[in-house]
Amino acid sequence: MFDFNSKYAAGLPYREFLQVHGSEQHRGRWAEVFDRVKLSGAQRELLVSFKREMKVLCLAGAWCGDCVNQCPIFEHFTAANPRIGIHYFDRDAHADLAGELQICGGARVPVLVFLSEDGFEVMRYGDRTLSRYRKLASDQFGPACPTGLVPPEQHLLDAVTQDWIDIFERVQLILRTSARLRQKHGD
- Convert the pLDDT of each residue in 113-164 to its tens digit: 999 999 999 999 999 999 998 888 777 554 555 555 566 789 999 999 999 9
CATH topology of domain 4-182: Glutaredoxin (3.40.30)
How far CA 144 is from CA of 20, 118, 133, in Å, comes to 26, 37, 11
Biggest CA-to-CA distance, the chain: 51
The structure's pTM equals 0.92
d(CA 29, CA 159): 19
Looking at residue 140, its pLDDT comes to 57
Looking at residue 95, its pLDDT comes to 97
Which residue, 52, 73, 69, is CA-closest to 61? 69
Looking at residue 185, its pLDDT comes to 96
Main-chain dihedrals φ then ψ at residue 54, nearest 5 degrees: -125, 120
Q: Is the Cα dihedral 123, 129, 134, 140 positive or negative?
A: negative
- Convert the pLDDT of each residue in 168-177 to its tens digit: 999 999 999 9
Residue 141 exposure: Cα atoms within 13 Å on the Cβ side: 0
- Convert the pLDDT of each residue in 12-71 to its tens digit: 999 999 999 999 999 999 999 999 999 999 999 999 999 999 999 999 999 999 999 999
Q: Which helix (H) or strand (E) holds 55?
A: strand 54-60
- Judge whether 43 and 165 are in contact, CB under 8 Å: yes
Give the residue extent of every domain in the chain. 4-182
